């Protein structure tokens, strides 16, 4: 697989994450649920990231051990972005840049990343940020898949851009399996291999089979429910309808209730982000265009679990190392078994937290506008 396997499952939010695209002729709505077994509220922040920032790669190996791997790659961000981060600034779960490129992770147990010691190695949360920093379209991302090696735990990735072009990337047996265009007829990713999801979907009415889709049966695969709700969406689907799909895709048990910790909808054309969390059920939003992505103003952060509703654009606060460290410490501290895992590999949890929390200090705004 990659250099390190078996990282605690909660690091990957491994239970039942879901991402979909809902579109008509005039709009594209992205919906995502971040889920985790046990349903314990997850700390995190929204980050406003600047264009013109000089960065370098960091691998999961370096995060765990402090040892830098060669070769190194440097880049300067060409796009500002808004990201959802559980490990503080620069380490993302997903997000969208000012050009409209979107990327989101979900767990996939079958993941086996490529190996090539001649290429720069990049922690997968940073790799997603790298995509948002550098590219505007899904096509551009797919053209550059062989430039770096991803390092980390088993995730797969859903991408979309402002034209509504989607792609799903799954790394199987050390090779990227890419689904896009005709090979991705249903714009949904959950936690299974896409061909298996499509094969199962073919058993249901409306997709080639006879079985009726029962939206009240939570044992039916989330992919099936999402595909059915997208196929039967109103002519002009709304943000409320997108959130209704996410609600239907929630799963849980009698003890902890829903496993869904974060839910968000992004209106790609309007560049507006809506979200709520298990810890803060009030629906909130902000407009991406309202932010200055130049280096003339500081990077910004906002507690994802802020207990408010309405427009949060004016609520973001300037980035500070102290605030970032507290976010990193809370995010990594929420992972069951993390300390034992790191110690088994010759590191300490304190060193891991330091590596992640201090990494933004290695970046530099080099372009003023």
What is the average pLDDT score of the chain?
92
Between CA 178 and CA 274 the distance in angstroms is 28
- Tens of pLDDT, residues 142-167: 999 999 999 999 999 999 999 999 99
Q: Is the pLDDT of residue 39 over 80?
A: no
pLDDT of residue 15: 55
User: Quick one: which of 287, 295, 279 has its CA closest to 313?
Assistant: 287
> In sequence order, what are the beta bridge partners of 159?
103, 167
Using CA atoms, how far apart are residues 23 and 45, in angstroms rounded to an integer? 27
Sequence-distant (≥ 6) Cβ neighbours of residue 203 within 8 angstroms: 209, 210, 211
pLDDT digits (tens, 9 = 90+) for 243-280: 999 999 998 764 556 789 999 999 999 999 999 999 99
pLDDT in tens, 284-303: 999 999 999 999 999 999 99
Q: Where are the domains of the chain?
A: 9-365
Largest CA distance in the chain: 60
pLDDT at 344: 86
Asked whether the predicted pLDDT for residue 187 surpasses 70, the reply is yes
pTM: 0.94
Domain range 9-365, CATH class: alpha beta
What's the CA gap between 100 and 162, in Å, rounded? Answer: 5
């Amino acid at each position: 697989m990659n250099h390190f396997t078996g990282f605690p499952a909660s690091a990957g939010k491994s239970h039942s994450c879901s991402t979909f695209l809902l579109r008509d002729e005039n709009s594209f709505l992205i919906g995502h649920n971040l889920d985790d077994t046990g349903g314990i509220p997850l700390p995190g922040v929204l980050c406003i990231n600047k264009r013109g920032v000089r960065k370098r790669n960091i691998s999961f190996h370096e995060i765990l051990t402090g040892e830098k791997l060669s070769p190194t790659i440097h880049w300067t961000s060409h796009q500002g972005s808004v990201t959802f981060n559980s490990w503080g600034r620069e380490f993302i779960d997903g997000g969208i840049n000012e050009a409209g490129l979107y990327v989101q992770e979900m767990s996939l147990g079958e993941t086996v990343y490529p190996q090539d010691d001649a290429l720069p190695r990049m922690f997968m949360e940073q790799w997603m940020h790298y995509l948002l920093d550098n590219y505007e379209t899904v096509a551009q991302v797919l053209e550059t898949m062989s430039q770096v090696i991803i390092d980390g735990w088993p995730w797969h990735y859903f991408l979309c851009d402002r034209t509504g072009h989607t792609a799903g990337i799954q790394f199987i047996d050390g090779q990227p399996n890419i689904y896009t265009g005709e090979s991705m007829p249903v714009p949904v990713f959950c936690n299974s291999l896409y061909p298996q999801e499509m094969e199962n979907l073919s058993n249901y009415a409306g997709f080639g089979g006879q079985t009726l889709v029962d939206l009240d049966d939570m044992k039916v695969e989330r992919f099936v429910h999402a595909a059915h709700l997208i196929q039967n969406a109103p002519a002009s689907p709304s943000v409320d309808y997108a959130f209704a799909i996410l609600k239907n895709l929630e799963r849980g048990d009698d003890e902890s209730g829903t496993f869904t910790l974060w839910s968000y909808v992004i209106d790609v054309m309007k560049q507006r982000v809506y979200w709520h969390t298990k810890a803060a059920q009030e629906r909130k939003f902000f407009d991406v265009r309202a932010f200055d992505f130049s280096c003339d103003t500081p990077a910004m952060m906002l507690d994802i679990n802020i207990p408010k509703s309405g427009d949060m654009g004016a609520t973001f606060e300037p980035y500070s190392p102290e605030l970032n460290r507290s976010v990193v410490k809370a995010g990594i501290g929420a992972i069951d078994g993390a300390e034992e895992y790191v110690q088994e590999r010759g590191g300490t949890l304190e060193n891991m937290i330091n590596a992640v929390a201090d990494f933004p200090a290695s970046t530099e705004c080099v372009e003023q506008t």
